[in-house]
A and B are shown apart, each in its own frame.
Chain A
Amino acid sequence: MKIEITKKWCLRMAEIEANAEIGAGLYALDPVFDGETMPANETSEEPSIAFGRFVRLMRRDRGLTLEKLAEDTDVEVAELVEIEEDTHHKPELRTVYQLANYFKVPRGNLLQVAGLTAPRDNRLIDEAVRFAARSESVAVLTPEERAALEAFVAVLSEEK
């Protein structure tokens, strides 16, 4: 339906409304964000080797330092270090979002690989394990590592 609203009306009401909060309805309530967001039974306590390895290889493949990746993704460098070094580290949701956007892979898939959501796609998890096994770190990115990385990215990029 077409609604006729004059410019004058819009601007007068914008002036009256000013910086008012306007949220209404139960759906407008913000979800809690403090790392306790996901119920415990929906997240995996399994170490997430593949996620840290994935971040490290994607970073190295682009020739980025941790500092540069932190800057580009607006994620704290300390968290990136933990992601790459500590397989038990549970990254913040926002961090996974930022990394998924940056590396251009679907967020839902990366959340599963990071262990933040319950695994829904067994093939993805199998591939993550295979990737972790094939991509053991050495100083430079070898052709094998690159092949492993590319194969995993291909699976990770599949939209359901």
Chain B
Amino acid sequence: MTITVSPIFLFNAERGEPEAAELWDGITDQQLGDWEGEWVPELFKAVQKLHRAGVERRHWPQSRHWNWRKKTEALQGMLAHPGFSIVCNGMTQGMMIVDTTMKRCRIEEQKGKNLVYVEFVENAPWNRPELAQPPLYRGIGSILIRAAIALSQELEFKGRIGLHSLPQANSFYANTCGMSDLGMDPDHQDLRYFEMTSEQAEAFIAKGNQP
């Protein structure tokens, strides 16, 4: 698998300054290794801390009936899918896996058209606000969405993308990304489905160019 690396920048909140990073157009064994070796133990620690602090289970971050092996196997099975990852300071900081063939648009004005469907987006635990105070790197979500739009444009889908947001991320996709909220989807554990039109994609890119 050949990976093309695009230079990007993240904001290092700890140091209060920009830091050079890389956007990779794929998920490799390195990402899986980082996920298993660094993300998972970190996540264990954070969730255990919440548990010990007496936080009720329903308030735990995105707690559902999953187990680690199932998730690892699911991710490994998706290795062949197209995706993007963000690497900074030698470590995977965020990952996204997309599907470019199976899904179609749901918004009325573009119903049935092709889109890039985002199967999976995740930030490293140390970049997640509910797990790390303060989160280390900022900007990962925006850059991954920008990459999904770029892929959509490359495939001549005109920037159309769709995804099912985790409850804690609804406001990011609705407000920061400006995507349309099509409501809860009973086929996806009631996660809300968001879709971006080509106009919304342009507006999102323009947003970052405004002073």
A-side residues, CB < 8 A to B, are 1-34, 37-39, 74, 92-94, 97-98, 101, 107, 117
Q: Is the CB of B134 within 8 A of A30?
A: no
> Can you name 16 A-B residue pairings with CB atoms under 8 Å?
A5-B143, A10-B10, A10-B18, A17-B138, A17-B141, A19-B13, A19-B129, A20-B171, A25-B118, A25-B119, A29-B64, A30-B43, A30-B62, A30-B66, A31-B68, A107-B36
Q: Mark B126-148, 1 if CB is under 8 A from A, else 0.
A: 00111000110011111110110
Residues of chain B within 8 A (CB-CB) of A25 are: 97, 118-121, 163-164
**Shortest CB distance B1–A (Å):** 13
Residues of chain B within 8 A (CB-CB) of A39 are: 67
B150-207, CB < 8 A from A: 150-151, 154, 163-166, 168-169, 171-173, 176, 188-189, 191, 205, 207
Kindly identify which residue among A3, A14, A21 contacts B169, using a CB–CB cutoff of 8 Å: A21
Q: Is the CB of B122 within 8 A of A28?
A: yes
Q: Is the CB of B169 within 8 A of A24?
A: yes
Q: Is the CB of B150 within 8 A of A1?
A: yes
Residues of chain A within 8 A (CB-CB) of B71 are: 27, 31
Q: Which partner residue on chain A sits nearest B5 by CB separation?
A: A2
Residues of chain A within 8 A (CB-CB) of B25 are: 1, 3
Residues of chain B within 8 A (CB-CB) of A98 are: 41
B22-52, CB < 8 A from A: 23, 25, 36-37, 40-41, 43-45, 47-48, 51
A20, B135: Cα distance in complex, Å: 10
Q: Is the CB of A13 within 8 A of B44?
A: no
Residues of chain B within 8 A (CB-CB) of A31 are: 64, 66-68, 70-71
Q: Which partner residue on chain B sits nearest A10 by CB separation?
A: B9
Q: Is the CB of B122 within 8 A of A17?
A: no
A75, B111: Cα distance in complex, Å: 53
Q: Say if the beta carbon of B15 comes within 8 Å of chain A.
A: no
A51, B207: Cα distance in complex, Å: 55
**Shortest CB distance B13–A (Å):** 8
**Shortest CB distance A53–B (Å):** 24
Q: Is the CB of B62 within 8 A of A28?
A: yes
Residues of chain A within 8 A (CB-CB) of B65 are: 32
Q: Do A20 and B139 contact each other (CB < 8 Å), given the known contacts A12-B210, A33-B47? A: no
**Shortest CB distance B166–A (Å):** 4
Q: Is the CB of A1 within 8 A of B207?
A: no
A26, B121: Cα distance in complex, Å: 9
Q: Is the CB of B62 within 8 A of A33?
A: no
Q: Is the CB of A93 within 8 A of B173?
A: no
